[in-house]
Amino acid sequence: MSGTPDWWRSLPTWAQAMILTLLLPGVVAHELTHIICATSWADTTLDWDAIAFEAEWTSSHPAPRAAAHIAPLVAGYAAGVGVFAVAIGRPQFSVHAGLLAYLSVNWLAYTAASVSDVAVCLQYLLAWRSGDELPTA
């Protein structure tokens, strides 16, 4: 059985192709950032069907889990500030509007923290604050 949501399967193929062309690079980079951040504390995989990272945690400490879930937000804003600083530092710098729009959409897809990412991050931060240890599997 496929983990692909019904709403996605109900879309026409042309709509799926357009959405994937537009958002896939940013969404995959987002999930890879979760994986890179979590690698030291978990066995990680990328579920290509749902385009989501999965972690089997080897650490019981909640802080690495919170960091892994919020990593794309932090990395995306840091990259955005860097690009902005370079752009305003070089007024003659220009990019074709279509390319800039495409990159901007993928930057937003990369950076945006999902409701799930924020909720899980907050849950782990609260556990960390209260000194709880979490199961490793």
Q: Which tens digit of pLDDT belongs to each residue from 95-109?
A: 566 677 788 888 888
Query: Is 136 part of any domain?
Result: no
Query: Is 30 part of any domain?
Result: yes
Query: Is 137 part of any domain?
Result: no
Residue type, 106: N
**Residue 70 structural domain:** 12-130
Which residues, other chains included, contact 61 with Cβ-Cβ below 8 Å and sequence gap of 6+? 41, 128, 133, 134
User: How many domains in the chain?
Assistant: 1
Please determine, for residue 12, whether its predicted confidence score (pLDDT) is greater than 90.
yes
Query: Is 62 part of any domain?
Result: yes
Q: Residue 80 and residue 64: Cα distance in Å, rounded?
A: 24
Query: Is 5 part of any domain?
Result: no
Predicted model pTM: 0.68
Q: What are 42-94's pLDDT values in tens digits? A: 999 998 888 889 999 998 889 999 999 999 988 988 888 777 777 666 655 55
Query: Is 75 part of any domain?
Result: yes
C-beta of residue 106 within 8 angstroms of C-beta of residue 26: yes
Residue type, 5: P
Which residue from 110, 101, 83 is spatially nearest to 24, judged by alpha carbons?
110
Query: Is 22 part of any domain?
Result: yes
